[in-house]
Structure 1
Amino acid sequence: MNLCPPRICALILATALVVAGSGAPAFTRDHDDALRAVKAGEIRPLADILSAIKEKLPGDVVGVKLEREAGVWMYEFRVIDDKGRLFDIHVDARSGEVERTKEK
């Protein structure tokens, strides 16, 4: 299992934040929301979460979203394993706990 290189992770996060800022209902409106949440201690930075859960991921991270689900900030990781299977991994953005894993 390989986590994405830092440059790729940064690109994925930037893309996720741009998509989130496009007005999609459940997602953060812009990167300012995410930054405020980190500064307020509501969520942990993406790099911290990735470090904490890297051993629990079944493959390579190919996408990231930050969203609120029922008032709780969640990172949603899209992961592809070595067999080409796609998974959505939902992680509590504050605690770093993997909440659920779903094969797509």
Structure 2
Amino acid sequence: MGQMPRLASTRALVLLLAAAGGSVHADPHDHDRARAALERGEVLPLAEILASVTTRVPGEVVEVELEREDGTWVYELKIIAPDGRLLEVLANAATGRLLKQEEEH
């Protein structure tokens, strides 16, 4: 399978995860807050964040959460790197700027 079809399927999975709240323990109203933030222009669309982050941090995105940290919207992405490491990447949801990248243990 080529890179583009895999990225498209990964994006579809991530969108499903985001619509479901990102995790089993998510607040059932998280998607409402995320949608409202997008409508107010406080966050970039997830597709833009994914396109930006995956060009700088290659791998397969397996989880996405949108959170407020110290008054700032932040996308938290879990990415499986090509070498198998699990990475946590934080990106400013308003600008797409990478804030942090670290290996999960």
Could you state the TM-score of these two structures normalised by the residue count of structure 1?
0.79
Work out which structure has the larger RCO, using CA pairs closer than 8 Å and 6 or more positions apart in sequence: 1
**1:58–1:51 Cα change, 3 Å:** closer
Amino acid at match of 2:38: V
Moved over 6 A (4+): none
- Asked whether the equivalents of residues 3 and 60 of structure 1 are also in contact (C-alpha less than 8 Å), the reply is no
Amino acid at match of 1:77: L
Q: SS at the partner of 2:54?
A: helix
User: For residues 18-73 of structure 1, what are the alpha-carbon distances to aligned partners after superposition, in whole Å with 9 as ceiling and x for unaligned?
Assistant: 3469775xx78331211110110100000011122221113111111111111111
**1:20–1:84 Cα change, 3 Å:** closer
Corresponding residue for residue 58 of structure 1: 58
Amino acid at match of 1:70: D
Amino acid at match of 2:48: D
Corresponding residue for residue 78 of structure 1: 78
Amino acid at match of 1:38: L
In the TM superposition, residue 5 of structure 1 has moved relative to its aligned partner by 3.6
Matches of 2:55 and 2:20, distance apart in 1: 28
Aligned length: 102
Could you state the TM-score of these two structures normalised by the residue count of structure 2?
0.78
Q: SS at the partner of 2:20?
A: helix
- Asked whether the equivalents of residues 18 and 31 of structure 2 are also in contact (C-alpha less than 8 Å), the reply is no
Moved more, 56-65 or 10-19: 10-19
Percent identity, aligned pairs only, is 36
Q: SS at the partner of 2:79?
A: strand
Amino acid at match of 1:86: L
